[in-house]
Amino acid sequence: MKEWLTAREIAFEALPYIPTTESAVVRLAKREAWDQHPSYSRERSGKGGGIEYHYRVLPSLAQIAYFQKYSIVGEQADDAPAAPVGQVLSDRAKTERDARLAIIAAFEVFSRGLRLNKQARIQLFCDRYETAFIKVDDWVKEKVPSVSRRTLHRWLSARKSGRTDALAVDRSKARAGTGVLDIAENGRVRGHILGLIAHQPHLTAAQIRKLCRAEFGDVLEVVSKGVEKKVPVPPVRTIQHFLKALKETHKVELLKLTNPDKFRSTMLPSGTGMLAHISQPNELWQIDASPVDALCTDGRHSVYVCIDIATRRFITYVSKTPRAAAVGLLIRKAMLAWGTPRTIKTDNGSDFTANETKRLFTALGIEADLSDAYSPAQKGHVERAIGTYQRAFVQLLPGYIGHSVTDRKAIEDRKSFADRLGQDTAEAFNVSLSGAQLQELSDRWCESDYQHRAHAGLKGETPFNVAARSAESVRMVAERALDVLLMPAAGTNGRRTVTKFGIRIDHNYYRSASFMPGTDVFVRRDPNDIGKIYAFTPDQAEYLGEAICPELSGIHPETFEKARKELNAQLIKERVDPIRAEIAQIVKGPSLIEKSLEVAARDVPNVIALPRRQEQHSTPQIAAALAAATSETQPAARETHERMSDLLAAVEADLAPQPKHDNVRPIRTDATPQQRFRAAREIEKAIAEGVAVEPERAAWFGSYRESAEYKAQKGLWEAFGDQEPVQRT
């Protein structure tokens, strides 16, 4: 629609209240000062010049007539927002919604330029729509032949609040869920029919009707609008319509129950770009296996596939049967070509979780990432890569049998029955490749075809270019080391203990002079020489040597055993001689206890303990024991001993020289405790009386007074009073 018009063009339109000649329009423009509105008038840029006027400067009815003449309002589906999550609109409801949105759009066009309030505009629009003055598409008029002021106001409110799906009405759905089969037997009939088609999707309506009669009888209980009544089982035609609606309503649930694989591939939510953070080569690999959809002359094979997530590089290994050894050979092949990965993601297949595979991952320093059970989407890259391999490569092979039973039947049906008669499978499918030839062709396809294809996951680049552009360093492993790590381990876990007979494997003994009996070893068997094994430490971090079974190696046992014993004796001598020399050095020096005590003395801290306060502890038993030890329990003996002591003391006093400084008797070296205590009392008495005491005796008294003997004798003396204790003889 043209918005800017000249006076001639306005006159030509013959609009209401507008003159039909150019000069009259010019005069009208001057009278109403159209050129005084800068937004509605402008200089004409075309040849001849002049002034152009915007259509909004015209009177309201003239604007409406001009709009209706050049604006045909049709479907507004693009402006309608999507239905809320979980709400499914039928085609009829969508058509009703779009027709009402078209009428709302017509009202908005009609209202532009009208100097009326909203209620007046709605009333005027409804009147003109009724008289067909408002031009809309025929299908809109057919769906909504008339509209009331109240209805249009409600539609406008719904559009303003964004609830456009509230305009969708399907009157055929108004009674949905209220049919006999929906509410019969309190909904149990509906649930039973749903279970039947989930259990056996191919049941016909007639069969389902019979099964419902068998379950609920010929009459069904129905409660409608609060009234309970009994109705017969509906006819087959009704059940057919019900089944169609039921399958449409529950198509997701039924697909989940009846065809889990299709549900997983078409309806199960899955994210894209989940591994977009993997940007460096060899950061993450995914590996998986699948049967090849082609036959070979030596049978059907499986293909193990490895894909590098960052570059989408692709390597295959063809194996006759799924096994852990095939996983190891695939990894060896990929590592020699690409380097060492940091992480490999696999599923929970027995070949990927075998001890042999786990040992290989550990030895190579590769982190194993297992996906959850029955979750192929967690390794979707390799799943899609296998699909590409089957479609782009295997379909071109002779012997292709199709990806499913249907494909295989179609291939077989290409030939007439007469041509197929008497043919075996190899002839029917043109089988001509061996497994080795299949591997060769597969390698050529990966190298020359696949890696040079543009990949959507690489934003249109090829795997070859992405890998070549990477500046990341590649961690390589020597081929010979990979060969050894791929050698099968002995037995279940490869662990063995060396005995005096050697290492026992499958009732054969492998002998070596390199390791001694009692040594725990990890053993790998050489697949090219059954008579030889390789021994490592249990953690496989150190190589110990080879061991040979003479019987399996074709060596005379006696000759081999003689040589082994000589080497073993030499090995033992080399190990024992240094120990013997050390023993000789130990024997020459001080004894072990002397060395130990010397070290213990050095470890004693250089600290003197302060004297602690003491108190005499006694019990009746301790007192009796002390009395027995001092022989003071008999008074007669004590008196006799005292007399003897006095006589002896007198004799000793006569014989001893007189003291120079005092009259205190000297201390005898063989004196008894009682005599020493008596001498101490004499010195104490002399000191108390002010008599001079010899320095030696004074020093002895000072030391003796602190001794335990003095304290014990003093305690006894105080206990017996003036009677001094005597010693039993």
Nearest to 468 by CA among 313, 317, 616: 313
Residue 645 confidence (pLDDT): 67
Residue 480 belongs to a domain: no
Lowest mean pLDDT among 63-77, 166-180, 276-290, 576-590: 63-77
Q: State the average pLDDT over residues 245-264.
A: 80
Q: What is the DSSP string of 99-118?
A: HHHHHHHHHHHHHTT--S-H
Residue 344 confidence (pLDDT): 94
What does the radius of gyration of the chain's CA atoms come to, in whole angstroms? 57
DSSP-derived 3-state class of residue 73? strand
Q: What are phi and psi of 427, to 5 degrees?
A: -70, -40
Cα first-last separation, the chain: 151
- Tell me how far apart the 2 most distant CA atoms of the chain are, in Å: 180
User: Degrees (nearest 5) of the Cα angle 145, 146, 151?
Assistant: 130
Whether the pLDDT of residue 542 is over 60: the answer is yes
Whether the pLDDT of residue 176 is over 70: the answer is no
The Cα–Cα gap between 558 and 214 comes to: 86
Name the residue with tokens 């402006």. 79
Q: Which two tokens stand for residue 445?
A: 């396809």
Residue 405 belongs to a domain: no
The Cα–Cα gap between 358 and 489 comes to: 12
Residue 476 belongs to a domain: no
Helix, strand counts (H, E) of the chain: 31, 16
Digit-coded pLDDT (tens) for 406-453: 776 776 666 555 455 555 566 666 788 899 999 999 999 999 999 999
Pair (218, 255) in one structural domain:
yes
Query: With contact defined as beta carbons under 8 Å apart, do 267 and 372 qualify?
Result: no
Output the domain CATH number for residue 38. 1.10.10.10
Pair (508, 596) in one structural domain:
yes
Pair (465, 492) in one structural domain:
no
Pair (244, 289) in one structural domain:
no
Residue 77 confidence (pLDDT): 38
Whether the pLDDT of residue 509 is over 50: the answer is yes
Q: State the average pLDDT over residues 317-339.
A: 90
Q: State the average pLDDT over residues 159-178.
A: 70
Residue 642 confidence (pLDDT): 66
Band of pLDDT at residue 82, cut at 50, 70 and 90? very low
Query: With contact defined as beta carbons under 8 Å apart, do 545 and 515 qualify?
Result: yes
DSSP-derived 3-state class of residue 286? strand
Digit-coded pLDDT (tens) for 461-505: 999 999 999 888 999 999 988 888 888 888 878 889 988 888 888
Whether the pLDDT of residue 658 is over 60: the answer is no
DSSP-derived 3-state class of residue 24? helix
Digit-coded pLDDT (tens) for 185-200: 888 988 999 899 888 8
Whether the pLDDT of residue 79 is over 50: the answer is no
Residue 251 belongs to a domain: yes
Digit-coded pLDDT (tens) for 211-228: 999 998 999 988 877 778
Highest mean pLDDT among 40-54, 358-372, 509-523, 641-655 belongs to: 358-372
Band of pLDDT at residue 663, cut at 50, 70 and 90? very low
The Cα–Cα gap between 295 and 205 comes to: 43
Residue 614 belongs to a domain: no
Output the domain CATH number for residue 359. 3.30.420.10
Residue 382 belongs to a domain: yes
Whether the pLDDT of residue 305 is over 80: the answer is yes
Percent of the chain with pLDDT over 90: 17
- Of 571, 602, 633, the one marking the end of a domain is 602
Band of pLDDT at residue 399, cut at 50, 70 and 90? confident
Q: Which helix (H) or strand (E) element contains residue 444?
A: helix 435-448
The Cα–Cα gap between 299 and 727 comes to: 115
Query: With contact defined as beta carbons under 8 Å apart, do 531 and 548 qualify?
Result: yes
Pair (368, 442) in one structural domain:
yes
User: Degrees (nearest 5) of the Cα angle 100, 106, 107?
Assistant: 90
Residue 534: partners with Cβ closer than 8 Å, 6 or more residues away = 484, 487, 523, 524, 525, 526, 543, 545, 546
Nearest to 678 by CA among 638, 726, 631, 728: 726
The Cα–Cα gap between 164 and 155 comes to: 8
Residue 392 belongs to a domain: yes
Name the residue with tokens 């009669």. 213
The Cα–Cα gap between 441 and 392 comes to: 13
The Cα–Cα gap between 61 and 14 comes to: 12
Average confidence score pLDDT of the chain: 80
The Cα–Cα gap between 577 and 373 comes to: 59
Percent of the chain with pLDDT over 70: 81
Pair (202, 236) in one structural domain:
yes
Q: Which two tokens stand for residue 384?
A: 């899609």
DSSP-derived 3-state class of residue 615? coil
Whether the pLDDT of residue 304 is over 90: the answer is yes
Pair (462, 341) in one structural domain:
yes
C-alpha separations of 449 from 287, 393, 428 in Å: 20, 10, 29
Number of domains, the chain: 6
Pair (104, 81) in one structural domain:
yes
Residue 650 confidence (pLDDT): 65
Residue 39 belongs to a domain: yes
Query: With contact defined as beta carbons under 8 Å apart, do 219 and 232 qualify?
Result: yes
Q: Which two tokens stand for residue 306?
A: 């490895």
- Of 602, 630, 661, the one marking the end of a domain is 602
Query: With contact defined as beta carbons under 8 Å apart, do 315 and 333 qualify?
Result: yes
Amino acid residing at 556? H
The Cα–Cα gap between 464 and 476 comes to: 19
Q: Beta partners for 532?
A: 548
Q: Beta partners for 499?
A: 502
91 vs 481, higher pLDDT: 481
451 vs 1, higher pLDDT: 451
Pair (255, 295) in one structural domain:
no
Residue 653: partners with Cβ closer than 8 Å, 6 or more residues away = 665
> Is the Cα torsion angle 538, 366, 464, 476 positive or negative in sign?
negative
652 vs 702, higher pLDDT: 702
Digit-coded pLDDT (tens) for 569-599: 776 777 778 888 888 888 887 888 888 888 8
Pair (339, 441) in one structural domain:
yes
Range of the domain at 503: 488-602
Residue 664 confidence (pLDDT): 46
- Full-model pTM: 0.49
C-alpha separations of 64 from 74, 110, 117, 129, 708 in Å: 17, 6, 16, 13, 134
Q: What is the DSSP string of 647-695?
A: HHHHHHHHHSPPPSS-SPPPPPTT--HHHHHHHHHHHHHHHHHT----H
The Cα–Cα gap between 526 and 534 comes to: 7
Q: Which two tokens stand for residue 517?
A: 């009996």
> Is the Cα torsion angle 668, 672, 676, 681 positive or negative in sign?
negative
Q: State the average pLDDT over residues 71-93.
A: 51
Rounding to the nearest 10 degrees, give the CA dihedral for residues 147, 150, 152, 155: -130
Q: Which two tokens stand for residue 251?
A: 């198509």
> Cα 310 to chain center, whole Å?
20
Band of pLDDT at residue 95, cut at 50, 70 and 90? confident
Whether the pLDDT of residue 275 is over 70: the answer is yes
C-alpha separations of 38 from 11, 28, 42, 53, 54 in Å: 21, 17, 7, 10, 10
Pair (461, 316) in one structural domain:
yes
Pair (57, 95) in one structural domain:
no
Q: Beta partners for 228?
A: 223
Q: Which helix (H) or strand (E) element contains residue 305?
A: strand 299-308
In the 8-state DSSP scheme, what is residue 167?
A: G
- Of 16, 35, 70, the one marking the end of a domain is 70
Digit-coded pLDDT (tens) for 344-390: 999 888 888 888 899 899 999 999 999 888 777 788 889 999 999 99
